[in-house]
Structure 1
Amino acid sequence: MPLTEPTALDLRDALRRREVTATELAEAALARIAERPDLGAFVSVNAELALADAARADARMHAAADPRDLPPLTGLPTAHKDLVDVLGFATTHGSRAVPHRLADSDDPIAATVRAAGAITLGKTQVPEFGIAAYSENSVAAPAANPFDTSLTAGGSSGGTAAAIAAGLIPAAIGSDAGGSIRIPAAACGLVGLKPGRGVVPTDRHRGATDPAGAPTMGVSGPIARTGRDAALFFDAILGGHGEPTLAAVDRAEELRGLRIGVSFASPFEEWIEIGFSPEAHAAVAAAATALEAAGHHVEAAAIHHEPQYPEAFTTVWTAGLGRIEFAPGAEELLGDLARMFLERARRTSPEALGVAVEGLRSFAASATRQWARYDAVLTPALATLPPALGAFTALGPEGDYRLQCQWAPQTSMVNVAGVPAVTAPTHWTAAGLPMGVQLIGRPGSEAQLLQLAEQLMR
């Protein structure tokens, strides 16, 4: 499907040529946001703050002898998930059970994006505490899919993905602890990069393990409509000199000769039935054809996952809620899924949590060893087209979680392993809905994965 809006790089070029101002871009984006309340993409918008930041960007642009010497995202409009503190904005975490405090400073990733020059317009919709593969909560309207607003935009970066796919903003940084960048990117026909553990400097404060000793799963990464835009934002949060990832993606046609394994294996299939739709198979077939045409060798991969994964992952995934301190009576305001997760966390003994941690460590070692036989492993990004809004919650909390694992059965395993992965659209249905694939890479292969995404989209 052709792009109908300027890319982030198009907008940056126009800013640097002084054909448009940051203020004009911010005003246009704010107007588009106001026109699309049906998307539920934004929880809050602060035009006054955004336009003040844009005016400062324009002043820097005007004073610069060469605009190319300015920070890489100067003047570009963007947004942050409502899990991230951004100066001047309230953070709700998608929950009525915690205070919605006005942030007096930026979280590290928001500070990095600000230092890179981007203009924050608002906060985007998420599931409660970011724990679900869809972005619905009791705080604000659900994030709807721009290609069919009766369907979910995915989660937890669902509001961000909806905003980008609808052309409200050109690109943004999301977070991904179990698929939260890749799931909504795939649902909305975008490129989503989950970097490897510790690759992004602001993620390193989390350490390599979480408080329970399990592998740290959450990372920050870009969501965009093209591989080049994702590379632009990825380079910006790396904070190094130059734009090496963007330069590599610009030479994507030179990448040839990789060995790529195709796998439909999911670690959840020991627990629940996993079925991939015809659209998912079509997306993988289209990707395989495109990759072979680009000069790579594509073959079936025999991947076998350890059976303890579903119980181990779920135990560790839910443990984080048990570390939140709720005010008296606040737990009654939790949504059904969060309440179930909290109750499970409190029932889990330290010994059982320790067993789960060791199970994930064993899984990570096994999966990484098997994937390493290939330069990249190709999987469906999602098992089916996006479910309808409300489809998850209608099943009750247990059915809700089961459907999430069936819809995105191959994303969380990559977080546990700590390696990078990218999603990109490769197939469009007759109704105009996107379907994409995931490519899992070796440690340090983020630039190569974005090159492959660019090859797929070209």
Structure 2
Amino acid sequence: MTTSGEQTRVHAFRDDALGDHDAVGLARAIRRGEVSAAEAARDAAARVRAVESRLNAVQVHIDVPAHGSGAAGAFAGVPTFVKDNTDYQGLPTGHGSVAFAPRAARRHAPFARQFLSTGVTVLGKTRLPEFGFSPTTEYEDAEPVRNPWHTGHSAGGSSGGSAALVAAGAVPIAHANDGGGSIRIPAAACGLVGLKPTRGRVVANAQSRQLPLDIVTDGVVSRSVRDSAAFLAAAERHWRNPKLPPVGLVEGPSERRLRIGLVLDSPNGVRSDDVTREAVAETARRLEGLGHTVEPVELSIDPSFTQDFLTYWGLLSFLVGVTGRRLGTDFDRRRMDGLSRGLREEYVRDWRRTPGVIRRLKRTREPYAAAFRGLDLVLSPVLAHTTPPIGHLSPAVPYATLIGRILAYVAFTPVNNVVGTPSISVPAARTTPDGLPVGVMFSGRPGAERTLLELAFELEADRPFPSLRDA
């Protein structure tokens, strides 16, 4: 742990069974007999204990680690955590909410089974904001999840607990999911790789598959591109969607040079801040230096997109309030936090717009596809400004102020959730003046995960991503 003025960095890297390994490296060491899965689990648990009092990232610990079903899987023996909005047999699923008392899940969610098929060893569950609605993992009456790069700042959301543990070196990889940016936002905030797969690439998310528009996709956050690539290949071996082209195992850059569109300001009209713009512009210059073609492009989506997405977001909160007793008989929607209540109340005022909202959101795929004519990928910011301090996006902030701040921050990521296209956040080459990572985002057409991973591999090889171990 290092402290400079009000800045505190927290990490758990040390000379133990985990060492500096990413998940692929640790799994290889376990296969070779250099360390055992039991040693890796023990040392990961010790690392978690060393940082948890400062990060507040863990919701539930497992006293006896649970080994995955894939003994020969890509990540056999690698310690990890599952996000606490996904059922894991025997553990409560709390969804980050105090509106009910969670009960132990009777069975694994479909994605939990897919994740376990990779061979991971589950140590527990990570924290998220209430029902995953917020881009920061903060609460009205509990300690927030803190960013290990700077504990005075947000770790992002909604997969903030997972991102904090991975960035701090407590585990090399962790489960995350993304319904509006919730893989990519914490990846950007914590200096990680965060791939949101194409809709349908992994098994359907248990919470969203029956919604009129499925916007949630599961995945992981990791410290290396090869970990995200290995996860996707391993998940595909458990189940592959025949409607999508297979990805297979991506192991490095491609020789193919790409045409990449450049977007600096968001479709909702929010101008990205200077630090973020420079990180994206510098990445564009690096790409051109590597032989790719980068050209400005405009994503001309419906001007109502932001309000429509906000209405749909409100619908989700409304549905939680209506169906909450399925989570626990003591569920009381009055105990939901300020963001959840505000979203629900705003939706109730505008519920008659719902059919038009869903129709327009589904049509977003048309201008999105038009923007890609002649292009392979699009480069943009992940977020409109750098990672905010704790409290800026707290659910205790009055709703009218809070929702304005959220919309000025989460201005790029939701389009991919609505259209169902893949998108990846990778760390920019430099950190902010106060030592925080900045993420840049690449987006593609449906099924373009291989291209995204190949380009991410190339950027990582060109200039290694900043690490807390070296910061």
Q: Using structure 1 for the length normalisation, give the TM-score.
A: 0.88
CA contact (8 A) 2:114 2:238 kept: no
SS of residue in 2 equivalent to 1:424:
strand
Shift of 1:140: 4.9
* Selected match of 2:342 from 328, 340, 343: 340
- Inter-CA distance 183–453: structure 2 relative to 1 (3 Å threshold): same
SS of residue in 2 equivalent to 1:239:
helix
Q: Deviations over 1:246-270 (max 9, x none)?
A: 742x231x3332100101242322x
* Selected match of 1:23 from 18, 21, 38: 38
- Inter-CA distance 163–192: structure 2 relative to 1 (3 Å threshold): same
CA contact (8 A) 1:126 1:137 kept: no
Q: Give the whole-Å Cα distance in 1 for the aligned partners of 2:178 and 2:91.
A: 22
Q: After the TM superposition, which parts of structure 1 deviate over 6 Å for at least 4 consecutive aligned residues? A: none
* Selected match of 1:159 from 158, 161, 164: 161
Q: Answer yes or no: is 1:276 the counterpart of 2:272.
A: yes
Q: Answer yes or no: is 1:46 the counterpart of 2:48.
A: no
Counting only pairs closer than 5 Å after superposition, residues 43-442 of structure 1 correspond to structure 2 as: 43-48=59-64, 50=65, 53=67, 70-138=72-140, 140-203=142-205, 207=209, 211=211, 213=212, 215-239=213-237, 247-248=249-250, 250-252=251-253, 254-269=254-269, 274-324=270-320, 325-326=323-324, 330-349=332-351, 351-393=352-394, 395-426=397-428, 427-442=430-445
- Inter-CA distance 288–35: structure 2 relative to 1 (3 Å threshold): same
Give the AA of the match of 1:421: S
CA contact (8 A) 1:94 1:139 kept: no
Shift of 1:362: 2.5
Q: Give the whole-Å Cα distance in 1 for the aligned partners of 2:268 and 2:194.
A: 22
Shift of 1:371: 2.9
Give the AA of the match of 2:376: D
My pick for the range that moved more, 431-440 or 317-326, is 317-326
SS of residue in 2 equivalent to 1:46:
strand
Shift of 1:373: 3.6
Q: Give the whole-Å Cα distance in 1 for the aligned partners of 2:237 and 2:292.
A: 31
Q: Deviations over 1:345-365 (max 9, x none)?
A: 33333x410011112122232
My pick for the range that moved more, 163-172 or 304-313, is 304-313
CA contact (8 A) 2:252 2:458 kept: no
Q: Deviations over 1:57-84 (max 9, x none)?
A: 8xx6xxxxxxxxx122210111111111
* Selected match of 2:28 from 4, 9, 13: 13
Shift of 1:179: 0.2
Shift of 1:218: 0.6
Q: In the alignment, which residue of structure 2 is the partner of 1:63?
A: none
Give the AA of the match of 1:268: N
Give the AA of the match of 1:24: E
Q: In the alignment, which residue of structure 2 is the partner of 1:66?
A: none
Q: Deviations over 1:96-120 (max 9, x none)?
A: 1123111121111111112221111
Q: Give the whole-Å Cα distance in 2 for the aligned partners of 1:80 and 1:5.
A: 22
SS of residue in 1 equivalent to 2:438:
strand
Q: Give the whole-Å Cα distance in 2 for the aligned partners of 1:140 and 1:76.
A: 30
Give the AA of the match of 2:23: A
- Inter-CA distance 364–411: structure 2 relative to 1 (3 Å threshold): same
- Inter-CA distance 379–222: structure 2 relative to 1 (3 Å threshold): same
The percentage of counterpart residues that share the same residue type is 34
Shift of 1:241: 9.2
Give the AA of the match of 1:455: E
In angstroms, what is the RMSD of aligned CA positions?
2.3
SS of residue in 1 equivalent to 2:375:
coil
Q: Give the whole-Å Cα distance in 2 for the aligned partners of 1:205 and 1:345.
A: 19
Alignment coverage as a number of residue pairs? 430
Q: Deviations over 1:105-156 (max 9, x none)?
A: 1111111112221111111110100001011125753111110001000000
Q: Give the whole-Å Cα distance in 2 for the aligned partners of 1:94 and 1:329.
A: 13
Shift of 1:448: 1.2
Q: Give the whole-Å Cα distance in 1 for the aligned partners of 2:249 and 2:364.
A: 35
Q: Give the whole-Å Cα distance in 1 for the aligned partners of 2:304 and 2:384.
A: 21
Q: In the alignment, which residue of structure 1 is the partner of 2:465?
A: none
Q: Deviations over 1:417-448 (max 9, x none)?
A: 11110010112234321112100111111121
My pick for the range that moved more, 322-331 or 279-288, is 322-331
CA contact (8 A) 2:147 2:154 kept: yes
Shift of 1:456: 1.6
Q: Give the whole-Å Cα distance in 2 for the aligned partners of 1:275 and 1:196.
A: 27
- Inter-CA distance 315–241: structure 2 relative to 1 (3 Å threshold): closer
- Inter-CA distance 199–329: structure 2 relative to 1 (3 Å threshold): closer
Mind listing any 5+ residue stretches in structure 2 that lack a counterpart? 1-12, 14-18, 241-245, 462-471
- Inter-CA distance 140–119: structure 2 relative to 1 (3 Å threshold): farther
CA contact (8 A) 1:368 1:417 kept: no
CA contact (8 A) 1:95 1:138 kept: no
Q: Using structure 2 for the length normalisation, give the TM-score.
A: 0.86
- When you count helix as a share of all residues, which structure comes out higher? 1
My pick for the range that moved more, 231-240 or 99-108, is 231-240
Q: Give the whole-Å Cα distance in 1 for the aligned partners of 2:95 and 2:141.
A: 9
Q: Give the whole-Å Cα distance in 2 for the aligned partners of 1:428 and 1:446.
A: 26
Give the AA of the match of 1:41: A
Q: Give the whole-Å Cα distance in 2 for the aligned partners of 1:380 and 1:158.
A: 19
Mind listing any 5+ residue stretches in structure 1 that lack a counterpart? 61-69
Q: Give the whole-Å Cα distance in 2 for the aligned partners of 1:16 and 1:202.
A: 31
Q: In the alignment, which residue of structure 2 is the partner of 1:65?
A: none
Q: Give the whole-Å Cα distance in 2 for the aligned partners of 1:238 and 1:402.
A: 39
CA contact (8 A) 1:192 1:224 kept: yes
Q: Give the whole-Å Cα distance in 1 for the aligned partners of 2:439 and 2:361.
A: 27
Q: Give the whole-Å Cα distance in 2 for the aligned partners of 1:31 and 1:280.
A: 36
